[in-house]
Chain A
Amino acid sequence: MKAERDREIKGSRDQVPGWADPKSARVTFDQWLDLFDRVPDELIERYHYYGNGEAWSKYLFPPQTFSIYGARHLRRLKFDNSLAALRMWGFVQNETERLFRARQTGRRVIATMGDLGAVPVIVNSFPGCVAFYPDCIWWTPFVMESRVLFDAAAELGIGDATCFSRAALGAFSKHSYFPDPDLVIASTGASCDDYSGVEQLVESFAPDMLWVEEPLRGECRMSNDECRMGGASERQALIEFLKREYERVVERMEKLTGHAITEVELREGVRRANRVRNLVARLRDLAFRHAALAALEMMVVEFGNLHYYSDMGEWTAVLEHLLGTAGGRAREGERVLPEDALRVVWVTPPADPLLLTYVEDAGARVMGTEYVINQALEIMDESKPPLEAIAESFMAASLIGTSGQRAKSVIRQARERQAEGVIISGILGGSHCAMETRLISDIVKQELDLPALEFDVAPASNEIGRQLQTRIDAFLEVLRSRR
């Protein structure tokens, strides 16, 4: 039995000279300060981004470093106590500086917006180009416990009645969260309408902007037989449409870089992206089945599939390190959360990461996620022409279809992992969520007879509101009572 389990769990724990991971646990901010005392200098020197030996490219630093530079929320979170997780956090928190260093070292910096996962596969296939999503800035106000970016967005016309993603507009206006991009590739169409509004306002800050249309993936209303035929051709038509959109991306990138990209380069880009997606798929399995990693780290891991935190090579190495740690834990039966924790599926990424810490502290663990980035988790078919493969994988996108389709993904995961409840965290002011949250909740309750908790994430703060705490506690109590 054990041998069988070992075969399933790939990856092995890295033997890092001068360091041995303590017994798996989630630790506080202060506890990481103690742990960091044990990290030898040689280890800090070991990890660099962009394969660069410069002092500025080191990133193995503890949460305290980033807290000093304003990431105040880190003081309230709980972190995995492994070296791999420390490395991951250091790498991710360092991204603003990394983007500026990209520019300083002659790389082209391309902002990709809206599609969450597809366009960077193309951009990163071009030599010397780095793609990033300003969309991910939506976490910044929460991590810093700050209104600065929301206020900046408000001055430009988007106030509190809009999704937290408006922080991206504030960041563009500041020119200090990432370098002014060489090109902005903004996806719109069948997507978040609030964010399309943000993108339109970003245009005034963009030196060059390319709009990409995302098609709607409709529900087939024909009979089963007809659907199989007509649905298939409809799907193929959408893939062809997307492919043409991506050809426009390629053209614009070629114009920008002066580099005529080859099919081999694009295939290699797809292959490298798939490598990341495969690693994340394995990590999801280890985290969700074996509790080898906690929800907070896993959210960071999953979102790495969007743009690899601006250094694909190093992010891949970080994931391999994490996989080694998680795989080793699973083999040895070590868990970061109790075996009897309540099993929940989480829908929509919480803008406030403290919610994940709180829910886990309250006795639950996340066994599945629908973080609106299905398209970035999908493995691309490497036997197909690269743009077609990218387009095909994008057809799995969370936000281009109906709420019912999203709900199906939630239901599938809940069934597969025997979830006991579903948590849906909406976005205060986000019109998309206002429409969708209740629908998903109703479908889940109807299909699975599982309790679902819906709430809107409150604006950035240093704590979770008492009322929401009570609702979460009560929800988990209901789950407990159903056992």
Chain B
Amino acid sequence: MKDLLTPRERFGLLVIDEPQDRVPVFPLVTAHAARLAGIPVREYYTAGAAMARCQLVAQETYGIDFISFFSEVGLVAEALGSQFDYPEDDLPLLTRPKWTDLTRLDDRVVGPLTDGRLRVYIDAVTYAYEARGDTVPILAYVPAPFTTAQQLVDQEAFLLGLLTEPERVKELLAYATRSIVRFCRAIIGAGGLPILVDPLASGSVISAEHYREFALPSEAEVIRYLHRYDLDVVLHICGDTRTTIAMMPETGADLLSIDRVDVAGAIAGAGQACRIIGNYDTSAILLSDPKTIEREVAEMTTAGKNCPKGFVAATGCEVPVDTPPENVRAFVRSARQVGFNPDYGRRRRA
């Protein structure tokens, strides 16, 4: 079935509450794009041009409605001084956070063109934007302050600090926020739409109370900054967000990208205020067979189409690196078919 709209036109309608020709389709293909393009994963996340080329290949191959840049959530922490290991064919691993405890902060703010691998993202956005920015939205995942903070300080010390040193935690979040905003600004300048990703704020990691007290305000602050530019902000929290989904619209996010939450439940909790993006199981897309995937994605998309603010058929989290391409194709095929809107563009007689 040939699309009437380009992905950019489709997204443009979604964010102004207008019907689209079909539901946008967004399996979160990140480092899997390296596998698809046949290059080592390390090359993907250390060279902007390589990252962009891989994403362009993935977008073209699968017919995805977005180009999205992401490797791992330590990006800003690394630029601030945390240390990572870079395996040849796997994602970076945090080896030593910048601090072991919450006792001291410096006054550093990242330089998006000079620190860590931030430049890789900026280069990738620039490249992809020039190549396909007229037809496809270019997204760049930016780790949120709460997640970044846990890459800056020993995670155990940080989580303990939520209980024992809440003010110091908030100072750390403010510290991370300053750099995140700086990074977002550079992405905006390059033509990318920042997506805020906060996996370590999920219900699998913290309680709803801690989410409200710590993660939500810092997410909201970054979103407020992005709203200065009138950007439609995606907040992605993978994992279990059943206890926080109803709070997430308070961040000001325009689209919520969800994972282990029932779609109908997410719509009930947040669908009046936000578009929902979700949420096919990433283990299933890795391990299941195309037929099963098609059936399950059809069920998900059918449920998602009921969202009053709109729906994007996506995976709950990243498509695993070694996912068989035929499984991603099955996902896309099914979401496009079921998400088709037969009423789109029908003549309206006055």
| Chain A interface residues toward B at CB < 8 A | 30, 33, 36, 41, 44, 56, 58-59, 61-62, 64-65, 67-70, 72, 75, 96-97, 100-101, 104, 144-146, 148, 173-177, 179-180, 182-183, 205, 207-208, 256, 462
Contact = CB atoms under 8 A, between A and B. Distances in A.
Contact of B5 (A70, A97, A146, A176): A176
Nearest to A74: B191
A208 B13 contact: no
Contacts of B129: 72
Contacts of B193: 68
Contacts of B13: 100, 176
B104 interface: no
B191 A72 contact: yes
Given A180-B348, A183-B350, A70 B8 contact: yes
B130 interface: yes
Nearest to A69: B12
A68 B134 contact: no
- By DSSP majority rule, is chain A's interface helix, strand, loop, or mixed? helix
Contacts of B137: 69
Given A33-B189, A61-B229, 20 more contacts: A33-B188, A36-B228, A61-B230, A65-B230, A67-B191, A68-B191, A69-B12, A69-B137, A70-B135, A72-B130, A97-B16, A100-B13, A148-B9, A173-B4, A174-B4, A176-B13, A176-B18, A177-B9, A207-B347, A462-B130
B38 interface: no
A72 B188 contact: no
B345 interface: yes
Nearest to B138: A68
A146 B347 contact: no
Contact of A146 (B135, B188, B189): B135
Q: Which 9 A-B residue pairings sit nearest by Cβ, starting from the closest?
A: A146-B134, A175-B345, A176-B9, A61-B230, A144-B134, A182-B350, A65-B229, A208-B350, A207-B349
B17 interface: yes
A67 B137 CA distance: 11
B135 A148 contact: yes
Contact of A75 (B5, B10, B191, B344): B191
B350 A44 contact: no
B96 interface: no
Contact of A58 (B9, B12, B230): B230
A96 B12 contact: yes
Range of interface residues on B (Cβ < 8 Å): 20 to 34
A70 B133 contact: yes
Nearest to B20: A176
Contacts of B189: 30, 33, 64
Interface string B134-165: 11011000000000000000000000000000
Contact of B134 (A41, A44, A70): A70
A208 B188 CA distance: 41
Contact of A68 (B9, B10, B231): B231
A423 to B, nearest CB: 28
Contacts of A69: 8, 12, 137
A75 B345 CA distance: 32
A343 to B, nearest CB: 35
A68 B233 CA distance: 12
A64 B188 contact: yes
Contacts of B347: 180, 205, 207
Contacts of A72: 129-130, 133-134, 191
Interface in B83-137: 129-130, 133-135, 137
A27 B24 CA distance: 37
A174 B9 contact: yes
B16 A101 contact: yes
B1 to A, nearest CB: 16
Most buried by A among B192, B193, B350: B350
B116 to A, nearest CB: 22
Given A30-B189, A175-B344, A100 B228 contact: no
Contact of B231 (A65, A104, A144): A65
A386 to B, nearest CB: 24
Contacts of B130: 72, 462
Nearest to A257: B350
Contacts of A174: 4-5, 9
A391 B10 CA distance: 41
Contacts of B191: 67-68, 72, 75
Nearest to B135: A148
Nearest to A176: B9
8 contacts: A30-B189, A33-B188, A67-B191, A68-B191, A68-B192, A174-B9, A180-B347, A182-B350
A44 B10 CA distance: 27
B283 interface: no
B185 interface: yes
A244 B61 CA distance: 57
B6 interface: yes
Given A68-B192, A72-B129, A208 B349 contact: yes
Nearest to A37: B185
Contacts of A62: 229
A453 B17 CA distance: 47
Nearest to A90: B230
A286 B143 CA distance: 49
Interface string B175-201: 000000000010011011100000000
A56 B8 CA distance: 19
